[in-house]
Every structure is written in structure tokens, then in C-alpha cells.
């Protein structure tokens, strides 16, 4: 290519990059995001010369839908366990932190260990989810997801795996509907809601009128949820972007950082009536760990859970601090606790997880799963 052509190509590339940055900023302003990610991402991408990897890179298929909910199947390359695993994630963020990046995906890891893996994508709550109750959520959506997992996998039972609020939901579900749940794994899961630090303080009844919020909005908007997480650590939310600037010449670091920030900014509206009861019963009255929370007129008694429970705690967790999860062994019949020196998200996305965390979890599940005769 001659010099004029090379110069033209550089100018064209520069102009194109400026247009892309402008479009990204315009979209962020239009969305009125309070998260710094959509504003800073285009500049970091341009400076580092990287692009975000695709969401949920592990191959999967949709085996069931219900409203905004999807049930995803991640088939094992060679299935060695008859007992499948069904992931239940929180209603606040998206499920794909469980399938973060190639080589740093808990779902990918478990499929390579021979498990038939399923995950619930709750989708984006809209008008149809506004009046969804805990009874419909557990006895309808989650119960149907369990049944479809068993049907598609050809198994009599499964391992239910809950993460964060999804763990609270999985505990409540298994207490109410134990049939078909062979093992229960709960990861970074709130149980004693009086130990939630600043979140417990902010949601106290004298500080927070949950009825007014839900009555006004229906589903809780994402910017309301984001503002709470932002105010819980406002300085750290900004300074971490300075850290990534210091490592701008490390494309691997920058790519991982942007992928994690994208997930963190991808909050979804919280179904209104589920949120109302969650705040009232769990945070404001702490009924869950007292076995006094009611769903559909039935009391959620954790002591009635018949299957073995694995309680996974992140020792550096500032979203669901260890103290929130530590009472669980005293509330269920059979429980083993594993503790790891990582944060809330580090259990599923850190570089330590594939080496120090997931092998121990997979071994626990494997010892309690039915083998697949001859494999598949």
C-alpha cells in the first residue's frame, strides 16, 4: 500500500473510532446510567485495543421458556454423572457470571467434569412479572424448571445449586418441594439477614419504605438497584478504573475487567411483589433464619430439608458477608461448609476459582451423584 493510501486508512480508522465512542456515550446518556461502565468503556477499549468477549461463551440450548424465564442446557462433552446440576441465580443480576469467560467459567468447568448442567435465566421482568409472588416464583417457575431438567436429563433427581439470593430461593424451594432434589449447594447465600452490614441498615423499616417504592414503580427499576450498590462503595467504584488505566498495556487484564464490569452494569428490574416480601420478611423482620417466613401459606422450615447441603462462603464477601451464611449448619439436618479467601464474585470469576474453588465443589457433588453407566 502506498503512502497516501496508508495515510487515508489511518484517518478513516481514527474517524471511525471517534464515531463509535460518540455513539456509545450518546447511548449511555440516553439510558441515564449511573454506572461509570458505559461512559468509560469506549475509551478503555480504544486505549487498550481490545473488545469484550461474547456473553456466555459455553455452547447451550434453550429447553424451556415461561414468560421472561428461560431454562438453558449446557450439555457435557462426555457425560459421566446421571445426576444433573440446575443453577438458580439471583433476580438482580444476570446468570452469565456463572459462564464468565473461556477457562474461567464455572458452568464450562462442570460440563468438562461430566455433568449435564442447566441454568435459569430469569430474563427481564416486565408487566407480566410485576405481580409475581414468592409462591408463583418457587411453586411455579422454579418447580417447573426442576421438572424440565429431570425430563430432559433423564434423571430421577438433581443437584440444585443456588448463588446469592438464588441460594436463599433454593433453600426455600427445597424446604417446600424436596422431591427430586438429591443435593443442595448454596454459594454466598444470605440466611441471617440481620448480618448484612450496610444493606441490613439501609433496608430497616424506619429507613426504607418498601411499600411506597413498589406501589410507585411496580417492578423495582435497575437504577434504584444500581444506586444502592454504588453508594455501598462509591470510592472503590471509581478508583478501580484508575487501576485498569495503570494496566492498559495488559490486554488480558483489560478484557477480563471490562467483561466483569459489563456484567455488573447489566442489572435487570426486580419483580415488584417478590421484592416487597423479600425486603419485609428477610431484611426487615429476619423471618427466614427463624423458620417463620411463609410462602403460599406454608412456613419455610429449613429443618425439613432432607438432602445434604453444601454451604460455600467467600471470606472477603462484602455483598453477602460470611456472617449471613454461617448460621446455616444449625438450621438444616446435614450441612458441610467450605470457605475460600475470595470475594462474592471471585467464587465464580476469579483466576483462583478453577484451581482452588471449583475442584472441591465438584468433588463434593460427585461423591453424592449417581454415575452415568458407560458415559455418553
Task: Name the catalytic one among 60, 164, 281, 289.
Answer: 164
SS3 262: helix
Residues 6 or more apart whose CB falls under 8 angstroms from that of 268 comprise 91, 92, 93, 94, 122, 123, 124, 125, 222
> Strand pairing of 294-295 and 298-299?
antiparallel
Residues 287, 367: Cα–Cα separation, whole Å: 33
Residue whose cell numbers read 461502565: 37
Characterise 49 by phi-psi region: left (phi > 0), alpha (psi -120 to 50), beta (else): left
344 in active site: yes
Residues 188, 328: Cα–Cα separation, whole Å: 11
The partner residues of 162 in beta bridges, in order of sequence, read 88, 186
Task: Name the catalytic one among 60, 81, 141, 344.
Answer: 344
Nearest CA-CA partner of 163 in 97, 218, 247, 229: 97
317 in active site: yes
Residue whose cell numbers read 456515550: 25
Q: Do the Cβ atoms of 81 and 372 come closer than 8 Å? A: yes
Active site residues: 164, 317, 344
Amino acid at each position: 500500500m502506498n503512502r497516501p493510501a496508508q495515510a487515508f486508512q489511518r484517518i478513516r480508522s481514527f474517524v471511525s473510532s471517534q464515531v463509535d465512542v460518540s455513539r456509545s456515550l450518546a447511548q449511555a446518556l440516553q439510558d441515564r446510567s449511573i454506572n461509570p461502565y458505559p461512559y468509560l468503556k469506549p475509551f478503555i477499549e480504544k486505549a487498550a485495543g481490545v473488545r469484550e468477549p461474547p456473553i456466555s461463551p459455553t455452547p447451550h440450548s434453550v429447553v424451556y421458556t415461561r414468560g421472561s424465564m428461560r431454562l438453558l442446557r449446557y450439555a457435557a462433552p462426555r457425560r459421566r454423572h446421571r445426576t444433573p446440576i440446575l443453577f438458580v441465580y439471583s433476580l438482580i443480576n444476570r446468570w452469565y457470571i456463572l459462564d464468565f469467560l473461556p477457562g474461567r467459567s464455572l458452568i464450562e468447568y462442570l460440563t468438562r467434569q461430566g455433568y449435564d448442567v442447566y441454568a435459569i435465566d430469569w430474563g427481564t421482568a416486565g408487566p407480566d412479572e410485576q405481580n409475581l409472588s414468592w409462591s408463583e416464583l418457587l411453586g411455579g417457575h422454579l418447580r417447573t424448571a426442576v421438572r424440565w431438567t429431570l425430563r430432559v436429563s433423564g434423571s430421577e433427581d438433581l443437584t440444585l445449586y443456588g448463588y446469592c439470593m438464588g441460594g436463599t430461593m433454593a433453600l426455600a424451594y427445597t424446604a417446600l418441594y424436596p422431591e427430586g432434589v438429591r443435593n443442595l449447594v448454596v454459594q454466598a447465600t444470605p440466611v441471617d439477614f440481620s448480618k448484612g452490614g450496610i444493606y441490613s441498615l439501609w433496608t430497616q423499616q424506619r429507613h426504607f419504605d418498601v411499600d411506597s417504592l413498589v406501589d410507585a414503580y411496580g417492578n423495582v427499576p435497575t437504577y434504584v438497584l444500581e444506586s444502592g450498590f454504588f453508594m455501598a462503595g462509591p470510592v472503590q467504584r471509581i478508583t478501580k478504573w484508575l487501576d485498569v488505566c495503570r494496566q492498559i498495556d495488559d490486554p488480558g487484564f483489560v478484557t477480563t475487567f471490562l467483561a466483569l464490569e459489563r456484567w455488573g452494569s447489566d442489572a435487570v428490574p426486580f419483580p415488584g411483589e417478590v421484592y416487597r416480601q423479600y425486603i419485609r420478611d428477610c431484611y426487615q423482620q429476619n423471618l427466614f433464619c427463624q423458620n417463620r417466613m411463609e410462602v403460599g401459606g406454608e412456613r419455610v422450615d429449613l429443618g425439613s430439608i432432607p438432602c445434604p447441603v453444601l454451604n460455600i462462603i467467600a471470606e472477603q464477601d462484602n455483598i453477602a458477608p460470611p456472617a449471613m451464611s454461617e448460621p446455616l449448619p444449625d438450621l438444616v439436618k446435614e450441612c458441610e461448609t467450605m470457605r475460600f479467601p475470595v470475594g462474592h464474585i471471585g467464587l465464580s470469576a476469579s483466576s483462583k476459582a478453577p484451581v482452588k474453588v471449583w475442584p472441591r465443589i465438584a468433588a463434593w457433588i460427585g461423591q453424592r451423584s449417581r454415575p452415568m453407566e458407560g458415559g455418553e
